[in-house]
Structure 1
Amino acid sequence: MSNSRGKVWPRIAYACGTFGHDVFYAMLATYFMIFVTSNLFNSGNASHDQYMIGIVTTIILVLRIAELFVDPFIGNIIDKTKTRWGRFKPWVLVGAFVAAITLALLFTDFGGLTVSNPTLYLILFAIVYFVMDIFYSAKDVAIWSMIPALSFDSHEREITATVARIGSVFGANLVTVIVMPVVLYFSVNQNGGAGDPTGWFAFACIGGGIATLGAIILGIGTKEQDSALRENKTDTSAKDVFKVLTKNDQLLWTAIAYLVYGIGINIVNNFNLYYFIYVIGDATKFSGLGVINTVIGLLAVAAFPVLTTKFSRRKLFFASIAIMVAALVIYALSGTNVYMALFGAGLFALPQPLIFLVVLMTITDSVEYGQLKLGHRDEAVCLCVRPLVDKFAGAVSSGIIGLVAIWVGMTGGASSAGITPENLFHFQLVMFAAPIVLMVIATFLYRAKVTLTEAEHARIVAKLEETWDKINK
């Protein structure tokens, strides 16, 4: 009993860290592109503004793709980190502080440079975004890589991940609740319900402050567990980092399936606010979706440990996809009906935390799978894959959002009354039909290639406990 009580504070502290972390992620992955397309470029010259939106979107996409090759090395550096505060916490704290400052800068026009000197603005934007992305990546890899360092038992990991995900779900959906009230409260010009740059900058500062506070609480309240199984006699060299990723087939196929799925759901999630602004015509109703998603998200996550005792992770994955496809059909048929749109969007969000946890647990268990197969343990290198995939999926979807927003006329001072039926049809094809196709493809990949079950992981851990000293020479 005392052991159980002793785990409560570390779990709460960890959840505070993931709460703040997902506040930041939602700001970056979803609302930053809305700021770019609706507020950052509003010079009065539509062709110039659309050109600048296209360039910024391209810069983000290129940097995120380049990050695919950087994140594994960040994970490798973290794996080799040895401090009295542990392997991960220094990266969480420093990453949170630098990322918060740089993201706040990105929610500005750098003192009017978007108009006075667009070329200089683009150069500075690329530099600041790159710095933000690197430090955010270090924090992202470190914070989720802590799970296999806290326990080797799959069920205990599920409890830890569940508590952490409760924090992250609450954080992400809190942003949905507060984004428009905060932006509009601090805005001088309502801009058709999309707010102005002052309001968006205030939103960025508040969100960055929350993320940094969460990282500090995590740093104070958590402690890594010592174990002989976490010790490598030799570290993985930089040149061998990608071998870890490619030779660990369960890690690789889980990542590929999750990437395809992630692009699909990010398209929908990123377009939600556009739907309320430009289709329904009332952005204030969007906060209702945040409340709905917070409640159902927390319920879904809390149910995860129970569901995994009754159903396998694989069955949970497939059932979740089926619910999400049905939800998108309802959402697509909602038109301007606010309540039907809220129901469809809420139902679509319901299984997302479950799939996140299924994938996170599979990737976490792949640490021991790779340890047995390759002869060395790579916690952060393996766990960097999940945030890497999330960020890459977010970058691809952000690119799609920016280009589609230009294509269908949802930029600058546009309003719902100005969206033509043809553009609305194009918007709905991208927002609803494309994600359904992507999620179905992801399901087939997961079913065919991912075989690392809970029982298989338990067998691997037992084998490692018997043989690790001989393997790890």
Structure 2
Amino acid sequence: MDNEFVVRSNSLCLQLGYGIGHVLNDVCASLWFTYFLVFFHLVLEFSSTQAGNLMLIGQVVDAIATPFVGYHSDHTDNFISARYGKRKLWHLFGTFCVLSSFPFIFMKCIGCSMAHKWAQMYYFAAFILIFQIGWAAVQISHLSLIPELAEDSHIRTHLTAIRYGFTVFSNLFVYIITWIVLHITGECDKEQVGPADAWKFRHIVYIVLGVGTTASVLFHICVSEGRGFRQQQPLIDHNDGNRVHLSIFRKLRLYQVAGVYMSTRIVVNITQVLIPLYLHKTLSLAARSLAVIPLAMYLGSLLSAGAQRLAPRSFTRKLNYFVGSICSLIGFTWIYLDSDYNYKVYYIYVVAVLIGFGGSQMLVTSLALTADLVGDKTEASAFVYGLMSFTDKLSCGAAIAIIQMYADGASASYYRDMLSWVCGGASVLGLILTLLMPKLTSDAQLTDSRPSINVIEEETSSSPSLL
């Protein structure tokens, strides 16, 4: 390995520059999952069904774009990519798509705000499509840069840790900015979100996109894509790779782990989407609670990360998932049973921390189960994570669309029931599938042993819900 390449990989500027390369995606994902339905249903006054269908469109486009971008990113070969780097080139393309579309999603239809809502859906769907393609391009190119920047596994792990650290910052930043804007501009403690708040969300988007854009510019200045050993050392032979990928679908363990991962993602993502609507419609809390409660949930996920680092090695995957699912179930049961004054003022924060802690514990464990499935034989690891991501995005999008389909005209307790039964049921399903899973043996792994690079630690940091 080239000594100059080692020095460059250890550069503080390069490491920090890489870490901030996904900040734009992180802040957009936080706004998308937490406030998309709130904005479209409560501010723009779309029906619940219309808002759910728009989110479903976004999830489907994201699911399809991810493997498409991954394939073409690997096969980009032209003069510009040779000079600038094919990963950075796709990152630049994705950044442009995100910046040119995301602001229009969180503002009124320009020149058509008085048009019929179904007509406006075509307007917003166009920007959602561009945004989701751009988001996928940034995510995939940023992840695939890790092996380009570092050959040593320790450096790769360090880059992953830095990346996750900036993800934490991004989510906290979004919730704090939202709380500040809603708190300062609120006229009274009882004020709820409504059509008059459109300008507030527009300013929130401008602020977070300003930070995300600055981070992306610094990323392209500080990071120089490696073009040394990776160009001369292909991962696997293409014919052999096709055989490996096809053989994956014959492994029963893949479907077991996929069931656990999909159930976990439903818990984490659906909770993040429905909590603001539950706070507004069921509990009738003030607008600023829509920022404070998600912030408390995220702090709970940080507690989970610390707890897992301190946990003894004797803690198994099943035990970790059991602890996480029980904490989540306690939170969802509490939501279903309680709604009095003390609950709204005090206990709702305890519930938020419990759900955040449990969801993070479940998510990290499900990712670890996937990593165990692949083992040291990582020829198809990116493909496996792609399959997991594909099912996750489609299932969550479909679940949200179905929930929103029956929300119009429903009672105030509707979102309470959906949180309790859908997310609680997914917690139970994930726990059952985990407990029924036999101990992993070499026979259950997906591929035969052969030389490869380890990309598992890169994928475990890509989740937006630790967004």
TM-score over 0.5 for the pair: yes
Q: Which residue of 1 aligns with 2:462?
A: none
Deviation at 1:263, TM superposition (A): 1.7
Q: Which residue of 1 aligns with 2:428?
A: 440
Whether 1:356 and 2:359 are equivalent positions in the alignment is: no
Deviation at 1:209, TM superposition (A): 3.1
Instruction: Check conservation: 2:26, 2:170, Cα contact below 8 A.
Output: yes
Deviation at 1:73, TM superposition (A): 2.5
Q: Which residue of 2 aligns with 1:71?
A: 66
Q: Which runs of 5+ in 2 are unaligned?
A: 1-5, 453-467
Instruction: Check conservation: 2:22, 2:138, Cα contact below 8 A.
Output: no
| Cα distance in 2 for residues equivalent to 1:60 and 1:187 | 28
Structure 1 segment 147-158 matched on structure 2, within 5 A: none
Q: Which residue of 2 aligns with 1:31?
A: 35
Whether 1:55 and 2:50 are equivalent positions in the alignment is: yes
| Cα distance in 2 for residues equivalent to 1:226 and 1:363 | 28
Distance 1:265 1:299, change over 3 A: closer
| Cα distance in 2 for residues equivalent to 1:447 and 1:354 | 15
How many residues get paired? 435
Amino acid at match of 1:300: S
Distance 1:86 1:388, change over 3 A: farther
Instruction: Check conservation: 2:147, 2:156, Cα contact below 8 A.
Output: yes
Structure 1 segment 362-441 matched on structure 2, within 5 A: 362-363=369-370, 371=378, 377-378=379-380, 380-400=382-402, 402-408=404-410, 423-441=411-429
- SS at structure 1 position matched to 2:31: helix
Amino acid at match of 2:212: A
Amino acid at match of 2:305: V
Instruction: Check conservation: 1:267, 1:435, Cα contact below 8 A.
Output: yes
Distance 1:455 1:14, change over 3 A: farther
Q: Which residue of 2 aligns with 1:285?
A: 289
Instruction: Check conservation: 1:96, 1:135, Cα contact below 8 A.
Output: yes
Note the aligned Cα RMSD (angstroms).
4.3
Instruction: Check conservation: 1:100, 1:205, Cα contact below 8 A.
Output: no
Deviation at 1:404, TM superposition (A): 5.0
- SS at structure 1 position matched to 2:29: helix
Instruction: Check conservation: 2:23, 2:212, Cα contact below 8 A.
Output: yes
Deviation at 1:367, TM superposition (A): 6.0
Deviation at 1:33, TM superposition (A): 1.2
Distance 1:17 1:316, change over 3 A: farther
Distance 1:308 1:40, change over 3 A: farther
Q: Which residue of 2 aligns with 1:100?
A: 99
Q: Which residue of 1 aligns with 2:163?
A: 164
Q: Which residue of 2 aligns with 1:125?
A: 124
- SS at structure 2 position matched to 1:282: coil
Q: Which residue of 2 aligns with 1:22?
A: 26
| Cα distance in 1 for residues equivalent to 2:120 and 2:245 | 35
> Which sits farther off after the overlay, 184-193 or 54-63?
184-193
> Which sits farther off after the overlay, 18-27 or 3-12?
3-12
Q: Which residue of 2 aligns with 1:326?
A: 330
Instruction: Check conservation: 1:29, 1:395, Cα contact below 8 A.
Output: no
Whether 1:274 and 2:280 are equivalent positions in the alignment is: no
Q: Which residue of 1 aligns with 2:202?
A: 201
Deviation at 1:104, TM superposition (A): 1.0
| Cα distance in 2 for residues equivalent to 1:452 and 1:86 | 39
> Which sits farther off after the overlay, 62-71 or 137-146?
62-71
Q: Which residue of 1 aligns with 2:192?
A: 192
TM norm structure 1: 0.75
Amino acid at match of 1:55: Q
Deviation at 1:300, TM superposition (A): 3.0
> Which sits farther off after the overlay, 275-284 or 432-441?
275-284
Task: Give a deviation string over 1:129-169, Cα, whole Å, max 9, x none.
Answer: 21211121222233344556677898876665444333323
- SS at structure 2 position matched to 1:192: coil
| Cα distance in 1 for residues equivalent to 2:237 and 2:300 | 45
Amino acid at match of 1:169: V
Amino acid at match of 1:122: M
| Cα distance in 2 for residues equivalent to 1:427 and 1:117 | 27
Task: Give a deviation string over 1:53-110, Cα, whole Å, max 9, x none.
Answer: 5234324324533654443232222233454555533333321331132111112232
Q: Which residue of 2 aligns with 1:346?
A: 353
Distance 1:175 1:252, change over 3 A: farther
| Cα distance in 1 for residues equivalent to 2:442 and 2:147 | 14
| Cα distance in 2 for residues equivalent to 1:454 and 1:315 | 21
| Cα distance in 2 for residues equivalent to 1:149 and 1:317 | 33
Structure 1 segment 80-95 matched on structure 2, within 5 A: 80-81=75-76, 83-84=81-82, 86=85, 88-95=87-94
| Cα distance in 1 for residues equivalent to 2:313 and 2:436 | 23
Q: Which residue of 2 aligns with 1:470?
A: none
Q: Indicate the percent of aligned positions where both proteins have the same amino acid.
A: 18
Deviation at 1:251, TM superposition (A): 5.1
Amino acid at match of 2:419: M
TM norm structure 2: 0.76
Distance 1:226 1:209, change over 3 A: farther
Instruction: Check conservation: 2:90, 2:137, Cα contact below 8 A.
Output: yes
| Cα distance in 1 for residues equivalent to 2:162 and 2:385 | 18
Deviation at 1:342, TM superposition (A): 0.8
Deviation at 1:426, TM superposition (A): 3.1
Structure 1 segment 134-283 matched on structure 2, within 5 A: 134-146=133-145, 160-182=159-181, 192-194=192-194, 196-219=197-220, 220-221=222-223, 226=229, 231-234=235-238, 243=246, 246=249, 252-278=255-281, 279-283=283-287
Q: Which residue of 2 aligns with 1:374?
A: none
| Cα distance in 1 for residues equivalent to 2:155 and 2:321 | 20
Distance 1:204 1:193, change over 3 A: same
Deviation at 1:334, TM superposition (A): 4.0
Deviation at 1:198, TM superposition (A): 1.7
| Cα distance in 2 for residues equivalent to 1:199 and 1:313 | 43
> Which sits farther off after the overlay, 277-286 or 427-436?
277-286
- SS at structure 2 position matched to 1:110: coil
